[in-house]
Amino acid sequence: MSTTTTIETISKPNVGVFTNPEHKLWVEESKPNLDSLKKGNSEDLPEGYVTVAIKSTGICGSDIHFWHAGAIGPMVVTDNHILGHESSGVVLATHPSVTHLTPGDRVAIEPGLICNNCEPCLTGRYNGCEKMQFLSTPPVDGLLRRYVNHPAKWCHKIGNMSYENGALLEPLSVALAGMERSGVKLGDSVLICGAGPIGLITLLCCQAAGACPIVITDVDANRLSYATKLCPRAKTHKVDTSLSPSDCASAIISTFGDSKPRIALECTGVETSIATAIHSVKFGGKVFVIGVGKPDMSVPFMRLSTQEIDLQFQYRYCNTWPRAIRLVQEGVIRMEGLVTHRFDIEDSVRAFETSGDVKSGAVKVMIQ
């Protein structure tokens, strides 16, 4: 039996936030249970693992979708399932094999566990791991718990960064992956479709990258108002859902000053929004889809073809966390304004109801 090194008393029950195929949402005791956490048995803390007390977890749109719809594409909730994948916390215990982390270290948790053997892993694009276990994606339970055991290699030190910013490193990683793959450069004109959390963090990244002009769109005027607070030089455009994608694109181009953007970063995954982005960009431009949408869609193929527009996609992220940490620590990206609501984990049902209600004004809801 291996031993652990501990730093603080583990006393509160390890509760988690669950959903199921009947779309219920509730809080109850989860694994690892309190007794196993106190004992630190080897079967509960395997080689290379640490125990982390979760301090902040952001609610993602995918969490709401798994609760409401029970599935995202082929990823289906088939049993009681723990949500959450945007988390940070403090290390409580370490397996003796772990040397780079010690109890008391503040860490952000990267939620994807990979095989390290398939081609995507071996070529450095581990987000495409053929045996990926991504926490919160069924059937792999998520991080919305009080305590978790997690591989130390995927626990990134955050120093004195706030736990909320540590949790926001996950959506920042999504945005950074989009920035890198889309190739946004200094002086590029950029359209951002969607002013939800991912769209707003993407806006912060475009601002830091020197993109100009930037136009961000949404159907919600309040979200657009929030966007201008985060990035005052960004122009906003409220989408008129009664317009066709091509007419909506014409209105967006007018917001740009009758100049078409070179790149559109589509952060909603909505079919009409993707089509609008395709009609908006210039000849030789690019539409980069960060958002997640329905399994099958129609796109304006001939517009893409005759205008030589690249349509590109991303799936999560890889190798982004160290860069995300540096950007936040150096103050290049400031995400404090994104959190609008905070709840204790025992009040998680109300937290999810708030996050899923567009009338609540919620941008990012944090569970503590």
Which of 303, 211, 222, 196 lies closest to 261 in space, CA to CA? Answer: 211
- In the predicted model, what is the mean pLDDT of residues 191-206? 98
Residues belonging to the chain: 368
Report yes or no: 64 and 356 within 8 Å, Cβ to Cβ: yes
Q: What is the pLDDT of residues 243-297, one digit of tens each?
A: 999 999 999 999 999 999 999 999 999 999 999 999 999 999 999 999 999 999 9
- In the predicted model, what is the mean pLDDT of residues 170-182? 98
Does residue 145 carry a pLDDT above 70? yes
Report pLDDT for 33: 82
Does residue 8 carry a pLDDT above 90? no
Per-state percent for the chain, helix, strand, coil, to nearest 5: 35, 25, 45
Taking the C-alpha atoms of residue 74 and residue 282, their distance in angstroms, rounded to an integer, is 34
Q: What is the pLDDT of residues 206-256, one digit of tens each?
A: 999 999 999 999 999 999 999 999 999 999 999 999 999 999 999 999 999
Report yes or no: 18 and 349 within 8 Å, Cβ to Cβ: no
What Cα–Cα distance (Å) separates residue 99 from each residue in 112, 162, 196, 325?
21, 24, 39, 21
pLDDT tier at 1 (50, 70, 90 boundaries)? Answer: very low
Report yes or no: 60 and 86 within 8 Å, Cβ to Cβ: yes
Average pLDDT over the chain reads 94
Helical residues (DSSP H) of 161-230, grouped into ranges: 163-182, 197-209, 221-230
Q: Which two tokens stand for residue 85?
A: 């994948």
The backbone torsions φ and ψ at residue 356, rounded to the nearest 5 degrees and listed phi first, read -85, 0
pTM: 0.94
Report pLDDT for 2: 39
Does residue 42 carry a pLDDT above 60? no
Does residue 16 carry a pLDDT above 60? yes
Report pLDDT for 213: 98
Report pLDDT for 36: 77
Residue whose token pair is 């160290």:
322
Does residue 25 carry a pLDDT above 70? yes
Report pLDDT for 35: 77
pLDDT tier at 180 (50, 70, 90 boundaries)? Answer: very high
Does residue 6 carry a pLDDT above 50? no
Q: What is the pLDDT of residues 64-99, one digit of tens each?
A: 999 999 999 899 999 999 999 999 999 999 999 999
Residue whose token pair is 């997640």:
292
Taking residue 22's Cβ as centre, other Cβ atoms within 10 Å add up to 7
Q: Is the peptide bond before 232 cis (omega within 30 degrees of 0)?
A: no
Does residue 340 carry a pLDDT above 50? yes
Taking residue 237's Cβ as centre, other Cβ atoms within 10 Å add up to 20
Report pLDDT for 40: 59
Characterise 161 by phi-psi region: left (phi > 0), alpha (psi -120 to 50), beta (else): beta
Q: What percent of the chain has pLDDT over 70?
A: 96
Which of 185, 172, 184, 180 lies closest to 327 in space, CA to CA? Answer: 172
Taking the C-alpha atoms of residue 330 and residue 125, their distance in angstroms, rounded to an integer, is 26
Report pLDDT for 7: 53
Q: How far out from the chain centre does Cα 359 lie? A: 22
Greatest Cα pair distance, the chain, in angstroms, is: 69
Question: Which range has the worst mean pLDDT, 3-17, 26-40, 171-185?
Answer: 3-17
